[in-house]
């Protein structure tokens, strides 16, 4: 791998990151045009339906693109969707070399962008900073291959494993820096899910709040088997561009449902297992709605059910420097666990970082 290629691909990755929270169901993509040792064009995909990163970068470069190298984090598209194929614009620009971070994983498109460009005489390289490019678009990759959302579980716990006291108090286990990062996660995903118990106890808004920044609110999803959500719950009375979706079983009071629908709340009726929503069936339904990423925020019954169902792809576990000191609080996971430690769920690709006195453990299942 050529060092200069790595340098400019990392620049393209930084550009791609600017689209986080705005491009779904499309991937985040960044592009850089380099002529000699001069960066002559930059661009990133800003929103679904808008021009792709390559087009922004080529427009920025103008005539200076002729004979230059295009660095792009994802293989240029060779199919017409809401926008024309990028491969045609690349040929027309006079670009002579294309370096891609990774190939397009989507089997539902014709693909072949790099092969097309190579057939037309361009020098083509793929796989530069591929691990970073794949991690950038891990939600897009999973959704492309499975039609299921990428599921992230976020939780804040005391050091001895409790998310609330016996009275239900949970404010605040972690510090403002950790909570700020949690809002970054909300901004990045398509939807956020909690159980109705969390709504009753905490009355959350489930919106994104990042001071001084324009934010994207995720779709708010409440798991509520029997439609017991209070009429005055804050998330039912928000000024937000995103929807509130209540997932129920089949036996719910129709009058309450109709009243909530009139206020703009959407409903999804799905299968249940006893009193619990079937999370695997729900995931399939959300995939059909083009929800590519889902953030689970609790409570303990939802977290436990999600872990037992095996639907979680990634975990962010925050630990505040507090010890509950008893055995009657609310644990991270409720419900039956495994019989032996050997059967416990093990994380992979673990990273650890600090937010002030808090510790965040990040890992994949």
Render pLDDT for 126-158 as a digit per residue (tens, 0 to 9): 999 999 999 999 999 999 999 999 999 999 999
CA distance 82 to 134: 23
Strands 293-298 and 191-195: parallel
Which residue, 266, 267, 3, 298, is CA-closest to 128?
3
Q: Exposed/middle/buried for 284, CB within 10 Å: 0-12, 13-18, 19+?
A: middle
CA distance 331 to 312: 18
Mean pLDDT value across the chain: 93
| Tokens linked to 282 | 């729900």
In the block, residue with structure tokens 């361009």: 122
Report pTM.
0.92
Are the C-beta atoms of 201 and 330 separated by less than 8 Å? no
Cα angle, residue 305 at apex, residues 187 and 148 outer, rounded to 5°: 50
- 273 assigned to active site: no
Question: What stretch of H or E contains 323?
Answer: none
Q: In this model, does residue 111 exceed pLDDT 70? A: no
Query: In the sheet where 150-157 sits, what is the strand order?
Result: 266-269, 244-248, 219-223, 191-195, 293-298, 150-157, 314-319, 358-364, 348-355
**Beta-carbon contacts of residue 87 (< 8 Å; ≥ 6 apart):** 76, 77, 78, 113, 116, 117
Q: Mean pLDDT over residues 261-290, rounded? A: 92
Helix, strand, coil content of the chain in percent (nearest 5): 30, 25, 45
Phi, psi of 331 (to 5 degrees): -75, 165
- What is the pLDDT at residue 299? 87
CA distance 105 to 109: 9
Are the C-beta atoms of 21 and 45 separated by less than 8 Å? no
CA distance 266 to 312: 24
Are the C-beta atoms of 314 and 153 separated by less than 8 Å? yes
DSSP reduced 3-state for 36? coil
- What is the pLDDT at residue 32? 98
Least confident interval from 93-102, 166-175, 282-291:
166-175
Work out the pLDDT band at 274, boundaries 50, 70, 90.
Answer: confident
Question: What stretch of H or E contains 268?
Answer: strand 266-269
Strands 272-273 and 150-157: unpaired
CA distance 13 to 132: 8
Give the active site residue among 54, 132, 254, 255. Answer: 54
- What is the pLDDT at residue 273? 82
Length of the chain in residues, anyone?
Answer: 365
- Of the chain, the percentage scoring pLDDT greater than 90 comes to 85
Work out the pLDDT band at 251, boundaries 50, 70, 90.
Answer: confident
The two most distant CA atoms of the chain are separated, in Å, by 69
Q: Mean pLDDT over residues 186-215, rounded? A: 93
Q: Cis ω on the peptide bond leading into residue 195 (within 30° of 0)?
A: no
How far does CA 310 lie from the centroid of its chain?
18
Q: In this model, does residue 92 exceed pLDDT 90? A: yes
In the block, residue with structure tokens 């670009």: 95
Are the C-beta atoms of 322 and 169 separated by less than 8 Å? no
């Amino acid at each position: 791998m050529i060092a200069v290629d790595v340098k400019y691909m990392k620049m393209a990755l930084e550009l791609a990151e600017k689209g986080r929270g705005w491009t779904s169901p499309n991937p985040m993509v960044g592009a850089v045009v380099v002529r000699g040792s001069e960066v002559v064009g930059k661009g990133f995909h800003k929103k679904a339906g808008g021009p792709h990163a390559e087009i922004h970068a080529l427009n920025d470069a103008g005539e200076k693109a002729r004979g230059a190298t295009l660095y792009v984090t994802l293989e240029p598209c060779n199919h017409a969707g809401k926008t024309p194929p990028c491969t045609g614009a690349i040929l027309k620009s006079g670009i002579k070399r294309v370096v891609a971070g990774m190939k397009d994983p989507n089997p539902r498109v014709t693909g072949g962008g790099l092969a097309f460009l190579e057939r037309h005489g361009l020098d083509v390289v793929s796989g530069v900073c591929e691990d970073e490019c794949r991690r950038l678009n891990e939600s897009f990759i999973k959704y492309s291959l499975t039609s299921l959302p990428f599921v992230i579980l976020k939780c804040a716990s005391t050091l001895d494993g409790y998310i609330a006291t016996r009275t239900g108090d949970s404010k605040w286990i972690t510090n403002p820096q950790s909570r700020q990062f949690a809002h970054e996660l909300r901004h990045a995903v398509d939807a956020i899910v909690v159980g109705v118990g969390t709504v009753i106890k905490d009355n959350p808004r489930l919106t994104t709040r990042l001071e001084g920044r324009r934010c994207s609110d995720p779709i708010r999803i409440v798991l509520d088997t029997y439609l017991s959500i209070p009429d005055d719950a804050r998330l039912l009375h928000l000024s937000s561009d995103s929807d509130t979706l209540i997932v129920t079983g089949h036996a719910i009071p129709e009058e309450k449902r109709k009243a909530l629908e009139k206020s703009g709340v959407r409903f999804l009726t799905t299968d249940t297992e006893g009193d619990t929503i079937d999370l695997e069936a729900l995931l399939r339904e959300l995939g059909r709605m083009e929800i590519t990423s889902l953030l689970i925020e609790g409570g303990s019954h939802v977290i436990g059910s999600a872990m037992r169902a095996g639907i979680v792809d990634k975990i962010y576990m925050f630990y505040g420097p507090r010890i509950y000191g008893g055995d009657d609080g609310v644990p991270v996971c409720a419900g039956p666990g495994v019989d032996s430690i050997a059967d416990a769920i093990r994380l992979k690709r673990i990273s650890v970082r600090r937010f002030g006195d808090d510790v965040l453990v990040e890992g994949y299942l």
